[in-house]
Amino acid sequence: IYTNHTIMISDCPTTVHGLQSIFQEQEMTETVHDTEGHGYLATFIGKNGRLVILRVTALGLLTIDLQCCEGDNIVQVENLLNTLEEKLRSLLHGNIKRVKRLPALTRGAAVDRYWPTADGRLVEYDIDRVVYDEDSAYQNIKIMHSRQFGNILILNGDVNLAESDLPYTQAIMGRGKENYAGKEVLILGGGDGGILAEAVKLNVYIDQMVIDGCRTHMRKACGSVLDNLKGECYQVLVEDCVPVLKKYVEEGKTFDYVINDLTAVPISTAPEEDSTWEFLQLILDLSIKVLRPTGKYFTQGNSANLTETLALYEEQLGRLSCPVDFSKEVVCVPSYMELWVFYTIWKK
């Protein structure tokens, strides 16, 4: 368990000396570290395994990090934190610009509850158990249960879809503005089955192990559509979508709708992202080629906060072999805990 206090102070020596007495009362051993003139740094270790890191920067920022082990007396820990905070207020005579106590972080737990948002913020989910955890030839596939969002599909550490995330499925299908009855729809990705459960006549290309996990553990999202890979009005193809798309282009096969649920837009143009941008460009070009003149292409973008990333994607749309127009919509996806951008693209 890791908790943190952050305080702005002005009198470092007096403050540190006052806090030392509290740690001595706790029978904690002090070690002062050389910061080469950059403030003050000390660690305090208790007999019960508690560790306190006390740091004061040259700018007057004081942080107290307290770490304790599972089984420690949480009431005693809270009392220690309260005592430290009261002592600081007394020492500084109320001249504290800001005090912030952060919730405890749990490290090394059997169930990992911390997952990053697309724009780099750390989110703690109310996850209480792992219901599926397997590695396919392509990715790690986890399905974890959240008391708030139901089961959540996580691929390679990226939150993909929860059973609560119907707004995602609705957004990537046009938010109820489209009539899919009697239409031919091509879905790329969509292994969770959410889009398939909402659509009518389609072909899908996905990871078999994603299907296996979601068929059992994500039924609130996919219903029964993944129980069989072929139904009266759909067929699921577990294949690489690129050669199949190329085959459709050669055959002149076209669709009323193409829904791309393969991957979000990369967050940068760094060299390690080059292959993903190239893949997106290829998928876009091939998808537009198999789109009928009045057809529409739906896809996700990324977090609404990543404005530069989304601008780069929109630049890519202007470089396609076939000229296109587009519109976008911002939707709150429950389990993402952030606003997400979705695109509708069509031929000019």
Residues identified as active-site? 261
Those residues with Cβ within 8 angstroms of residue 277's Cβ, 6 or more apart along the chain or in another chain: 266, 269, 316
Distance from C-alpha of 255 to C-alpha of 93, rounded to nearest angstrom? 72
Query: Distance (Å, rounded) from C-alpha 112 to C-alpha 119?
Result: 20
Strand partners, 99: 7
Pairing of β 338-347 and β 291-303: antiparallel
- Rounded CA separation 219/223 (Å): 5
Question: Using the 8-state DSSP alphabet, how is residue 310 labeled?
Answer: H
Element (H, E) at 53: strand 51-56
Tokens of 327: 């519109």
Residues 6+ apart with CB under 8 A from 118: 264, 267, 302, 303, 305, 306, 336, 338
283 φ/ψ angles, rounded to the nearest 5 degrees: -60, -40
Residue 227: HSE in the Cβ half-sphere, 13 Å Cα cutoff: 6
Residue indicated by tokens 């709708």: 257
The residues facing 43 across adjacent strands are: 31, 53
